[in-house]
């Protein structure tokens, strides 16, 4: 089965732009030409590759084609860089990272990678337990994830663990946990959670009670604002050690109980593709994670 490179390029641009019309503008061709290229690929693969939604999304077969399109684009970019070394401007590298890592150690690592590789990066934010789906779909080339098992076509490398502590403001602790951290106090004290996928607070609760409790909940889907909400006394919550250590040191935050921090193992998954950019990026991520996470 032959899929012309220009058709694969068109396919990737459709997903990046979200529509046939957007792809046509970017490629300086007509929307009809874009449609013809997609139709030709669908005929050759014998599968529907795109859902004509807004924005356009891939089918299962389309995700496979998208991954191939981006891999080929990366290979072409790597070749061009080796043959014509010079200023940055290669293929955009999409990666997915969880919010807590973005708020603590990951951005400095990415800045170093940008300097040393000259590459451009697009960072997508997703929960560390959900990020492999974006890797599996071909939406990204690499992911910081809590999943050890490698996505097909990828490699998985352990880069350490993030450690989370249950914390609250001193006034909140005085009001809700004056008698200690018990099942009864946990049932009544409000919680701050990142979103409805956030399970860290539930893990802490299970350390203290086997009862099925449903505390009041706030949802704050931004890592920085999540921490700020806890400091302001909206509720208690689990914060990465890197993020809460300054507050604990100054007394702005207080740790709940004396249990050891809850560890979240982290894995760097990337396409199993020989690429100087991906290789260097992966090395930098591993080094920066080791320095930050210990």
13-71: pLDDT as tens digits: 999 899 999 999 999 999 999 999 999 999 989 899 999 888 999 998 898 888 888 88
Task: pLDDT band for 260, please (50, 70, 90 cuts).
Answer: confident
**CA nearest 129: which of 165, 95, 96?**
96
What DSSP character marks residue 65?
A: H
Q: How far apart are CA 281 and CA 254, in angstroms?
A: 37
The backbone region for 178, taken as left when phi is positive above 0, alpha when psi lies in -120 to 50, beta otherwise, is alpha
Residue 259 has pLDDT above 80, yes or no: no
Q: Coil, strand or helix: which one is 83? A: helix
Residue 249 has pLDDT above 80, yes or no: yes
Beta strands in 119-222 (DSSP E): 120-125, 142-145, 154-168, 191-193, 217-219
The backbone region for 61, taken as left when phi is positive above 0, alpha when psi lies in -120 to 50, beta otherwise, is alpha
**First CA to last CA across the chain, in angstroms?**
48
For the chain, give the mean pLDDT.
90
User: Which of 123-127, 164-168, 176-180 is least confident?
Assistant: 123-127
* Length of the chain as a residue count: 294
**CA nearest 15: which of 49, 44, 48?**
49
Beta bridge partners of 48: none
Residue 87 has pLDDT above 50, yes or no: no
User: Which of 1-10, 20-29, 220-229 is least confident?
Assistant: 1-10
Task: pLDDT band for 82, please (50, 70, 90 cuts).
Answer: low
Q: How far apart are CA 208 and CA 42, in angstroms?
A: 55
CB 258 within 8 A of CB 180: no
Neighbouring C-beta atoms of residue 36, cutoff 10 Å? 14
CB 251 within 8 A of CB 166: no
pTM: 0.74
**CA nearest 228: which of 249, 250, 244?**
244
Residue 72 has pLDDT above 90, yes or no: no
List for the chain the helix, strand, coil content (%; round to 5).
Answer: 50, 20, 30
Residue 173 has pLDDT above 70, yes or no: yes
Omega cis (within 30) before 127: no
Q: Mean per-residue pLDDT for 136-154?
A: 89
CB 289 within 8 A of CB 281: no
């Amino acid at each position: 089965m032959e899929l012309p490179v220009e058709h694969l390029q068109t396919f990737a641009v459709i997903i990046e732009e979200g529509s046939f019309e957007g792809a046509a503008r970017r490629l300086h061709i007509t929307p009809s030409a874009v449609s013809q290229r997609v139709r030709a690929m669908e005929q050759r693969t014998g599968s529907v590759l795109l859902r004509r939604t807004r924005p356009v999304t891939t089918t299962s077969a389309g995700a496979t084609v998208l991954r191939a399109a981006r891999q080929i684009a990366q290979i072409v970019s790597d070749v061009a860089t080796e043959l014509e070394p010079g200023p940055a401007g290669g293929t955009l590298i999409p990666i997915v990272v969880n919010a807590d890592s973005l708020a603590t150690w990951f951005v400095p690592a990415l800045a170093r990678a940008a300097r040393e590789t000259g590459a451009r990066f697009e960072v997508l934010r997703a929960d560390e337990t959900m990020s492999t789906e974006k890797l599996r779909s071909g939406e990204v080339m690499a992911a910081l994830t809590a999943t050890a098992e490698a996505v097909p076509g990828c490699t998985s490398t352990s880069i350490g663990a993030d450690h989370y502590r249950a914390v609250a403001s001193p006034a909140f602790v005085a009001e809700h946990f004056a008698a200690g951290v018990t099942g009864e106090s946990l049932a009544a004290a409000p919680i701050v959670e990142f979103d409805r996928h956030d399970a860290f607070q539930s893990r802490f609760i299970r350390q203290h009670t086997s009862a099925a409790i449903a505390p009041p909940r706030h949802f704050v889907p931004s890592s920085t604002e999540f921490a700020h909400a806890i400091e302001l006394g909206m509720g208690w919550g689990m914060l990465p050690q890197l993020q809460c250590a300054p507050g604990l040191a100054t007394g702005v935050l207080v740790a709940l109980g004396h249990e050891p921090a809850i560890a979240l193992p982290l894995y760097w998954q990337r396409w199993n593709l020989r690429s100087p950019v991906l290789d260097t990026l992966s090395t930098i991520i591993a080094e920066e994670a080791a320095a930050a996470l210990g």
